[in-house]
Amino acid sequence: MSPLVEIRSLQFAYGDRPLLSGLDMVFPRGQIIAVMGGSGSGKTTVLRLIGGQLRAQSGNVIVDGKEVAALTLSDLYAMRRKMGMLFQHGALFTDLTVFENVAFPLREHTNLSESMLHDLVLLKLHAVGLSNAAHLKPAEISGGMARRVALARAIALDPQLIMYDEPFAGLDPISMGVTANLIRKLNDALGSTSILVSHDVHESFLIADYVYFLSQGRIVAHGTPDQMRESSDPYVTQFVNAQADGPVPFHYPGRSLAEQLGLSEHAK
Amino acid sequence: MMQTLTTGLAKLGALVRIMLINLGAATRTFVTLLAGSGALLRRPRLVTDQIHFIGNYSLVIIAVSGLFVGFVLGLQGYYTLNKYGSEQALGLLVALSLTRELGPVVTALLFAGRAGTSLTAEIGLMKAGEQLAAMEMMAVDPLHRILAPRFWAGVIAMPVLAAIFSAVGIFGGYIVGVGLIGVDEGAFWSQMQGGVDVWSDVANGVLKSCVFGVAVTFIALYQGYCAAPTPEGVARATTRTVVIGSLVVLWCDFLLTALMFS
């Protein structure tokens, strides 16, 4: 069976600033694939390219056999109905209750009766453990809960592909474990494919089937979590073991401190 | 000398080019917004909710301003008309000023400040909170779902608010002119009845406020939609809504007056 998402020799730049170059990635159906890397390595951009919110300068993004960049706007929207995306901060609609947030995609894309919709939304909320919080506003719940509501909203239409943008960022250890568990359980229960963008090594390795490491716009390593743990690649070792210095330097590149202070001129 | 001239020209060219690009982008957004408005016929609730938000909550400021503008018109009109001994025409003066000019224009300016800014801030903050991006990923076009209902609500609310402004203003002129100064009540109303034409005065005023409704609401929505997703970005967009909105209203008013009443 062909993979659900395929990225081939992709180049992407924001204006003149190149971000991704020569990217090749495969996301097979039914799996959870983690895309890992430091902040600013272009992980989120990969998700936006798959969702068609950005267009690459060259290369292909193929979702379910279709080239995303070649789709018309209406085809793109049809494709997105089969996708769910969890945004980094949840991106809940602040003027709607938790219930209405989850009901939103259902109201927009289906003609379900009000009672059917009510039951369906409660089931989705139950799956993330929040059916009793249905009446609350997003401002009244914690960050971890907001993330789970956003997850319930993302899976409201039973998507083929679920994309997670930093689902663990800013969560306490318990919420983190809960979220990781949910991602695995939902993926298997819905029979969907998940792309997990994260820099959290422990939780991601626990649930992912395959891992891509992204650094400075390139894939530097990929394999199963076990292979990555064993890897001797210096970047992977630095990342997995959270070492402060390594191939990724501690200092932002540029002039040395001595030069900045004007000391090197005195030395001459 | 030659060089300063060429750099100056180049800067001017760049400025014009950026302006044209912005105008083109705004026009494209406007067309997309109109094209997606058909779906609202099936869900009128989206528009009526927004009319409530935009229209009802602007009612107080519009009514109070209308009353005071009416007071002032009554006083100033009386002083001027009295010099020529034609203070009976006060009702006509108040009614014509309000229906032709002050009603639509002042309502539009107040609307830009009261409702336009809140629309810009709302859309800008939705963008900053990734809510618009989330909507796009849910296969819902925010132009159709968020902007279009607000746009039509503004276009519908504006003439109604302008009519309320004019009506309250005429009442204010009546209070000052007839109640306080003592202009003959019969003359006040009958001169107004005889001199105000329902088509050339009232309908033209309504037409004006419809045009202002389109302009102000779209400017407010577009500024929010294009705002940089940061606190400064939203602040700047809100300011631009009021500045650009007010200037466009005044410029459109001059153009429409020249076309309608010449």
C-alpha A27/C-alpha A4 separation (Å) is 6
The reply to whether residue B137 touches residue A51, judged by beta carbons under 8 angstroms, is yes
The reply to whether residue A89 touches residue B130, judged by beta carbons under 8 angstroms, is yes
C-alpha B258/C-alpha A81 separation (Å) is 51
Residue A136, judged by CB atoms within 10 A of its CB (0-12, 13-18, 19+), counts as middle
Structure tokens given for A196: 């997990």
Query: What is the chain B residue with the closest CA to A85?
Result: B137
Task: Return the residue in B138, B143, B145, B150 with the most chain A beta carbons within 10 A, the one to mutate for interface testing.
Answer: B138
Q: pLDDT: is B121 or A10 the higher one? A: B121
Most confident of A34-43, A137-146, B71-80: B71-80
Residue A265 has a pLDDT of 62
- Whether residue A102 is predicted with pLDDT greater than 80 in this model: the reply is yes
C-alpha B90/C-alpha B75 separation (Å) is 9
- Whether residue B12 is predicted with pLDDT greater than 80 in this model: the reply is yes
Q: What is the mean pLDDT of residues B149-155?
A: 96
Please report, for residues A103, A112, A120, A230, B135, the alpha-carbon distance to residue A108 in angstroms, rounded to integers and kept in the order given: 9, 10, 14, 47, 10
Residues of B in CB contact (< 8 Å) with A are: 126, 129-131, 133-134, 136-141, 145
- Whether residue A266 is predicted with pLDDT greater than 60 in this model: the reply is no
The reply to whether residue A53 touches residue B138, judged by beta carbons under 8 angstroms, is no
pLDDT tens for residues B65-106? 999 999 999 999 999 999 999 989 999 999 999 999 999 999
> Distance from A84 to chain B by nearest Cα, in Å?
7
Residue A172 has a pLDDT of 83
- Whether residue A56 is predicted with pLDDT greater than 70 in this model: the reply is yes
Residue B31 has a pLDDT of 94
pLDDT tens for residues A243-252? 777 777 777 7
Question: Residue B38's Cα: distance from chain center in Å?
Answer: 24
Instruction: Name chain B contacts of A83, Cβ cutoff 8 Å.
Output: 137
* CB-based contact, A108 to chain B, within 8 Å: yes
Q: What is the mean pLDDT of residues A165-189?
A: 87
In this prediction, residue B4 has a pLDDT band, given cuts at 50, 70 and 90, of confident
CB neighbours of residue A56 within 10 Å: 19
Instruction: Name chain A contacts of B140, Cβ cutoff 8 Å.
Output: 104-105, 108-109
Q: What is the mean pLDDT of residues A161-190?
A: 88
pLDDT tens for residues A60-77? 899 988 888 888 988 999
- Whether residue B107 is predicted with pLDDT greater than 80 in this model: the reply is yes
- Whether residue A97 is predicted with pLDDT greater than 90 in this model: the reply is yes
> Distance from B246 to chain A by nearest Cα, in Å?
29
DSSP B49-105: HHHIIIIITTHHHHHHHHHHHHHHHHHHHHHHHHHTT-GGGHHHHHHHIIIIIIHHH
Residue B179, judged by CB atoms within 10 A of its CB (0-12, 13-18, 19+), counts as exposed
Instruction: Name chain A contacts of B131, Cβ cutoff 8 Å.
Output: 91-94
- Lowest-pLDDT range, A264-268, B120-124, B176-180, B250-254? A264-268
Q: Give the A:B interface size as CB pairs under 8 Å.
A: 46
The reply to whether residue B131 touches residue A80, judged by beta carbons under 8 angstroms, is no
- Whether residue A268 is predicted with pLDDT greater than 60 in this model: the reply is no
Q: What is the mean pLDDT of residues B166-179?
A: 96
* CB-based contact, A54 to chain B, within 8 Å: no
The reply to whether residue B139 touches residue A87, judged by beta carbons under 8 angstroms, is no
Residue B170 has a pLDDT of 96
Rg of chain A, C-alpha, whole Å: 21
Residue A244 has a pLDDT of 74
Q: Indicate the residue of B129, B139, B141 with minimum beta-carbon distance to A91.
A: B129
> Distance from B6 to chain A by nearest Cα, in Å?
27
Instruction: Name chain A contacts of B130, Cβ cutoff 8 Å.
Output: 87-89, 91
ipTM of the complex: 0.84
